[in-house]
């Protein structure tokens, strides 16, 4: 279903939003004609409450509760909870939507229309379309919604249909849409191209491992996005139990998210030299799978002791980050569904990130709040550096003890991100465990809208 606004014409029904503190004044004023009807429904203007208003020819519009500040603070997209309670049709906000949240709320409304229906035939769901509220640029908000839909679709698609080759095809289609250049290094060419960790992690799978490299724009600051594209993660020889393997189709959520962010940037035609690097692999089990205890040499020359083959994401990212830094990007972002420790720390709703750049961190916090994309800064805690140094190699991919797992993984990646003007790493979940307004259960974009808001300042745009 296309995520689009309704045309601004007379057919759209008026929707009045009422906070709990505005109900009395509305009933005493313009709402007096419908007072008895609204009061008979027990309407108290709680968030998501809806009363349909009758008219001479049928439905005249609706009044919806917008709750109070505390209720709205508990809901990512408050207006989306209203949209879900309305009957199908075209709607316009008659009053009650604060101008400062109009764009975010309009985005949330559009996202209620998302559904992953690739494998299920049937009639389309009836649409509840919104006329773009006053002051909202419909093209910009539709661009954000389409980018999120791309990310969700990629994450939701099972690994049988979203392996490394399919992920490459999706990346190629995106590049072609915006006239970007794409190069792909596959299989044993990764070895001759000095990308040994990507090859090692993916060599046991049926589909060849690969590095996807997209470029767009020839002038402006250099911005490089690196996304973990582990299309399925069995854990390798350190095999995951079934319960832990069940959601591993989403282990390419970092790749899906950087593709969604790249779509935003290219659609909005940022004056940057954009590069997107995606190491696309499947961590599988076979006779040639890499083993616990192996010592691997990375593109950067740093050696890595493998103490757990299930800590493979940081390995493939390491080579991609090293490659990225050879050009000295002005900003470098890595995104990955990297550690369960991050979820233990902040749960599934927040996207934790790491950076040494205080200005970028502040920009991310502000943009995350502005665009309903909550993020939380975690530290590159230098005293933990010793935990990733095993003694017989330069680095340990899985320090023993299990403490500070998100931090030690981030510190590992930082060793390969030297040379970038600003670096931030996101350890995202990329999944919505329970359906919520504007967020269907399943794949989810995290951190991308915060980055879209913060990166222009970091790049001096």
**Catalytically active residues, by annotation:** 240, 314
Query: How far apart, in whole angstroms, are the C-alpha atoms of residue 292 and residue 241?
Result: 17
DSSP state letter for 362: H
Buried/exposed code over 246-282 (b: 16+ C-beta within 10 A; e: otherwise): ebbbbbbbbbbbbbbbbbbbbbeebebbbbbbbbbbb
* Bridge pairing between strands 222-227 and 331-336: parallel
Beta bridge partners of 274: 216, 223
Beta bridge partners of 214: 182, 276
- DSSP string spanning 75-125? -SSHHHHHHTTSPSEEEEEEE---GGGHHHHHHHHHHTT----TT--SPPP
Alpha helix segments (H runs only) across 326-357: 340-346
Please answer whether residues 440 and 432 qualify as being in contact, where contact means their C-beta atoms are separated by less than 8 angstroms: yes
Q: How many residues are present in the chain? A: 461
Tokens 């369960």, located at residue: 340
Task: Give CA separation, 16 vs 27, 33, 69, 135, in Å.
Answer: 12, 14, 17, 17
Alpha helix segments (H runs only) across 203-273: 242-245, 253-267
Query: How far apart, in whole angstroms, are the C-alpha atoms of residue 458 and residue 461?
Result: 8
DSSP state letter for 41: T
Q: What is the CA radius of gyration of the chain?
A: 24
């Amino acid at each position: 279903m296309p995520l689009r606004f309704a045309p601004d014409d007379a057919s759209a029904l008026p929707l009045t939003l009422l906070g709990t503190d505005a109900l009395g004044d509305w009933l005493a004023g313009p709402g007096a004609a419908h007072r008895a009807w609204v009061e008979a429904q027990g309407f108290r203007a709680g968030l998501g409450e809806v009363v349909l208003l009758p008219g001479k020819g049928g439905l005249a519009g609706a009044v919806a509760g917008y709750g109070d500040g505390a209720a709205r603070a508990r809901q990512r997209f408050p207006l989306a909870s209203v949209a879900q309670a309305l009957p199908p049709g075209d709607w316009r906000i008659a009053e009650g939507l604060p101008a400062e949240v109009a764009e975010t709320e309009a985005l949330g409304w559009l996202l209620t229309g998302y559904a992953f229906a690739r494998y299920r035939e049937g009639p389309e769901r009836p649409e509840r379309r919104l006329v773009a509220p006053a002051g909202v640029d419909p093209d910009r908000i539709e661009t954000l919604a389409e980018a999120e839909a791309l990310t969700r679709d990629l994450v939701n698609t099972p690994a049988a249909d979203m392996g490394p080759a399919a992920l490459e095809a999706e990346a190629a289609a995106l590049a072609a849409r915006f006239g970007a250049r794409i190069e792909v290094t596959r299989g044993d060419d990764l070895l001759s191209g000095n990308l040994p960790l990507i090859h090692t992690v993916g060599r046991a799978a049926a589909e060849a491992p690969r590095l996807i490299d997209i470029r767009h724009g020839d002038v402006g600051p250099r911005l490089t996005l690196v996304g973990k594209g582990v299309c399925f993660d069995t854990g390798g020889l350190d095999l995951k139990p079934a319960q832990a393997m069940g959601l591993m189709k989403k282990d390419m959520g970092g790749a899906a998210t950087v593709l969604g962010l790249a779509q935003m940037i290219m659609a909005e035609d940022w004056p940057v030299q954009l590069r997107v690097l995606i190491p696309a692999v499947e961590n599988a089990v076979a006779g040639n799978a890499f083993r616990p205890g192996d010592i691997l040499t990375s593109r950067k020359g740093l050696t890595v002791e493998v103490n757990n083959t299930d800590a493979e994401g940081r390995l493939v990212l390491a080579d991609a980050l090293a490659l990225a830094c050879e050009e000295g990007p002005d900003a470098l972002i890595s995104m990955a569904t990297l550690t369960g420790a991050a979820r233990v720390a902040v749960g599934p709703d927040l996207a934790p990130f790491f950076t040494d750049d205080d200005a970028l961190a502040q920009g991310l916090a502000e943009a995350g709040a502005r665009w309903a994309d909550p993020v939380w800064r975690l530290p590159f805690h230098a005293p933990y550096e010793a935990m990733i140094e095993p003694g017989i190699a330069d680095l340990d991919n899985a320090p023993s003890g299990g403490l500070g797992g998100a931090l030690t993984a981030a510190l590992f990646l930082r060793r390969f991100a030297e040379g970038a003007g600003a670096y931030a790493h996101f350890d995202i979940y990329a999944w919505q465990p329970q359906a919520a307004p504007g967020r269907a259960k399943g794949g989810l974009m995290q951190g991308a809208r915060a980055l879209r808001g913060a990166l222009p300042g970091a790049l001096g745009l």
